[in-house]
Chain A
Amino acid sequence: MTRRRFMQCAGVGLAAAMLPRSRSSASPALTSGEFRRGGMVYRPLGKTGMNVSLLAFGSHTDRAYKERGGIRNVLNAEGQARRDRQVSLAMDLGVNLIDVYEHEGQWEPLARLLKPRRDKVMVAGAYDNPEFIGQNIDRLAKLYGGYIDLYRIRSETVTFDYKLLEQWDVLRRAKEAGKIRAIGIACHLEGPMMTALQELEGLDYLMLPYNFIHAKADYGQFLPAAAERNIGLIGMKALAAGSIVGLDPRVKSDTNPENTNFMLFNSAPGSRAILPAAVAELARNLKQLPDESLPQAAMRYVYSKQFLCANMVGMTDERFVQDNCAALTRYDQLTRDEHVALESARKLTRLAGAGWLPENYQWLEEQWRA
């Protein structure tokens, strides 16, 4: 290097060092109430006084390891060991909210795993059972040290019938008795969200589907109304049941999204390549993100949304846990290249129609596409 060239480089470096750090620096700007411990970001869950990790561990288990015979979440020995490792890794990386929604076969193993760290981990449960809800809460609370941190019911109707209001009353009573710390509702449709804000006394948090494709909640009156009531919002379906994973050509075929047939770059027999031009455009744009996968960009999209306190993602591999946590260590705002890549993925899925999602998740496309 010549002396002149050295001085030019040093001058530019010095000037850069003297400038205030921009938002695209490695340290993300934290919003009010938000804080970082290690690699994990924590946000306050509405008015509950609880701080939840931005990445929460979802309850879905790996189908490949499920016991044959139709039991929803009873895993074989290998599968259970894998899941235990995934949950342990997530906790080691700072995840403090673990969902135990799909309980058959998983409540007890998870309770065994979480008990030593019960004071550092929050357990979320949900009601999806013919069993009486009060009994469900009591059983769950007994397993997890006498209380559960979050518990939710679910509604898919705009008008709440007396059964749902009764369930809510039981939840409120359980909270008053100290069995639950925060009570909420999961809305898989947009309609019940406003109804929940208006009808459910003492609502602490609300779960809604949210990802970069299904971001309808950005619109409408819901977000201001939720903010006014200080309701904690938890995003779910951040990766659209794994289907967003399948959009990335660099993702290996063994990542086990639920709809393997529509992994656009899956080489497995039976898979089909669709819309070559849109696929090529996506591949080209993803090349601008050499250190980042499409799912990571998708996670960073939901992380960047300040109205979400946490994002509950089902993770069936330690690698997913690491990737989703790694996405948090980057800067908080999406880059232009990331926006471009996500837009081309959006375009591809729009052209592909609802078929890019598994059949039991097509409601996402119908109800939530922005």
Chain B
Amino acid sequence: MARLNVSFLSSPASLPDGWDGSPGHPLCAARPAVAPCQCRQAPLLAWFAWVFVFLTPLSLPAQQGGRQELVSAGKCARCHVSSALEWGLSKHSTLTRSKSGRLPNCTGCHGESRDHVIDEQNTAKPDRMAHGEAIAALCVECHRSGCPHTSDLKNCQSCHHIHALVNPTLDAATIEKRASDLAALMKAYQGHLAEGERLVQQAQWEPARIAFGAALKDYPASDRARAALAMIARRVKPGFGGFKIVGDKFDSQSGLPEEIVMDGSGIDLVLVPAGSVDLGSEQHAGSKPVHTVNIAPFYLARFEMTQAQWKALMSANPSFHQGAKFPQADAMPVEQVSWEDCQKMLAAINRKVPGGGFRLPNEAEWEYAARAGSADSNVSAKILSVAWLRENSRIAEVASVAKSEPDAGAARVSREAANAGMAQAFKEMQRVEAAKLTAPDSYAPHPVGALQPNAWGLYDMFGNVAEWCSSLYQPYPFDAADGRESAVAQGARVLRGDTYVDSAESADLALRHSDRPTRKLRWNGVRLAFSPPAVEPPAVPASDSPAAAKSQ
């Protein structure tokens, strides 16, 4: 058996728990509960796996620069990172179709496994889990004539690793040479990356661009180098026509300015950085199951859209709360707007911006921004310092009538009336109650931005008015690609965030709500989202690279 030069893996700290650096199969050895890997290409696998692991750190989320196989493995890679990497070593990962019509990817062999995917408790097994001879049976579904090397129909796994189907017939010398070449290439790649990052720190954009370009040339599949080049392109030429960039703070990952203001309108947009959010809550039936969604960077308006902003765009104000009774109406959020009204407004505002880009946030984006990095969706602790809810949204005129707490007062008089026959007192109380609680006119939204913002500087994400989202209301898990973001599909659209008539007791950012796209209620408003302008993708130099070796 060929012994590989793995000296570059010299730092024990860089090894996974459970692997002592011996030339075994690290991905099997890292799992002590599993029997030691007996596959023949184990040393080779050890090498290849760690080359790829080093080339692209696993900490990078798949959608924003992770390895291609992690992207291709989709949801499965969220938990089965090792298996996805192993599969990435095989030729299977590069196929777009197979002889049997079934793709040799996770779902192709294990089935759709929907229950398993959404099962946070990990009690539901995948639809299909082949063991022993059943593995060969699975292989034969495509490789009908058996193994191309031995014509064996029964023992595929004795030579081929179950996921990483590296060609076992390569001789040791070839493997050794490839390993040496790849090690050198990897060193160069890492050097270029480090150099690029150093130059970025010094804001030397052109030299940094050249360094990252060299890294991309070393390893054309490197999403990290690609993302760095995109970031530099943004820093050099932001491309925000129609906007003014506020301040000099830029997101280090994307290169996007952290705040922009639309020229003329004063619409202030805050960058919501890329990241992931555990969407939903186990507390509410409509918000189950909790699941992770990755979010690309986007802009979200710092404030809910005001009546003045709507009027400027649409030449009309549909809001219920306006007129002499509400002297600050212009600064209050626009309400009584339907989802369809919002689409018309978006068309109007996008005509004013080169390339458009204004839209409604989808519900995952909304919840991600509302949580602002907090894992807990329940915000009741300090809710009234950040949200206008029923408890602090009583209209002043009515509030002056009501000095006592209505619930306690009604209960007290009710008891007295029942026990001591104080009917007259109760009638009087009823009259007062009726006067101060004429629903729902007793409550009104407040001017935007009057309370504290959340951690990302967004005001009124919770309370005041509920905000229309672009998404159709469909059961979780959220998947933007499953049709729920269709602008033309029929169905209820999502509204997020509590309103000024909701109680603080039940405040929870994970609560989902919806309504017909044509319905206009006086507590439904809108907050603008904006997609940053795309940058030209960096050119990928064609050359031999580690990626080219993965199909071996």
Contact = CB atoms under 8 A, between A and B. Distances in A.
Contacts of A166: 440, 521-523
A13 interface: no
Given A67-B417, A131-B433, A132-B443, A177 B284 contact: yes
B548 interface: no
A185 B427 CA distance: 28
A68 to B, nearest CB: 7
A109 B499 CA distance: 33
Given A74-B426, A133-B439, A176-B284, A165 B521 contact: yes
Nearest to B283: A178
Contacts of B284: 176-178
Interface in A63-106: 67-71, 74-76, 80, 104-105
A70 B423 contact: yes
A67 B421 contact: yes
Nearest to B498: A173
A152 interface: no
Interface in A30-81: 67-71, 74-76, 80
B434 interface: yes
Contact of A104 (B414, B424, B442, B505): B414
B506 interface: yes
A67 B443 contact: no
Contacts of A132: 390, 437, 439-440, 442-443, 501
B184 to A, nearest CB: 59
Contacts of B426: 69, 71, 74, 104
Interface string A269-308: 0000000000000000000000000000000000000000
Contacts of B424: 69
A134 B521 contact: no
B515 A176 contact: no
Contact of B417 (A71, A130, A176): A71
Contacts of B511: 173, 176-177
Contacts of A67: 417-418, 421, 423
A172 B513 contact: yes
Given A177-B511, A178-B284, A108 B415 contact: yes
B516 interface: yes
B509 to A, nearest CB: 12
A169 interface: yes
A177 B506 contact: yes
A172 B286 CA distance: 12
A51 to B, nearest CB: 18
B414 A105 contact: yes
A80 B418 contact: yes
A201 B516 contact: yes
Interface in A121-141: 130-135, 138-139
Interface in B349-367: none
Contacts of B516: 201
B251 interface: no
Contacts of B485: none
B501 A162 contact: no
A237 interface: no
B158 interface: no
B385 interface: no
A170 interface: yes
Interface string B493-532: 0000011011101101001111110011111000000000
B296 interface: no
B430 interface: yes
A172 B498 CA distance: 12
Contacts of B411: 108
Nearest to B499: A173
A201 B515 contact: yes
B491 to A, nearest CB: 10
A174 B390 CA distance: 13
Contacts of B430: 104
A133 B440 contact: yes
Contact of A74 (B283, B418, B499): B418
B501 A139 contact: no
Which one of A75, A109, A133, A134 has the highest number of Cβ atoms from chain B below 10 Å of its Cβ? A134
A35 to B, nearest CB: 24
A214 interface: no
Contacts of A172: 513
A300 to B, nearest CB: 36
A188 interface: no
A134 B423 contact: no
Nearest to B286: A176
A69 B421 contact: yes
B261 interface: no
B480 to A, nearest CB: 22
A179 interface: yes
21 contacts: A68-B421, A74-B423, A105-B414, A108-B418, A130-B434, A131-B406, A132-B501, A133-B440, A134-B439, A134-B501, A135-B406, A135-B439, A139-B407, A165-B521, A169-B521, A170-B501, A174-B506, A176-B513, A177-B502, A177-B508, A201-B515
Given A134-B502, A178-B284, 10 more contacts: A70-B427, A108-B411, A130-B439, A131-B433, A132-B437, A142-B407, A162-B520, A166-B522, A172-B513, A173-B498
Interface of A: 67-71, 74-76, 80, 104-105, 107-109, 130-135, 138-139, 142, 162, 165-166, 169-170, 172-174, 176-179, 201
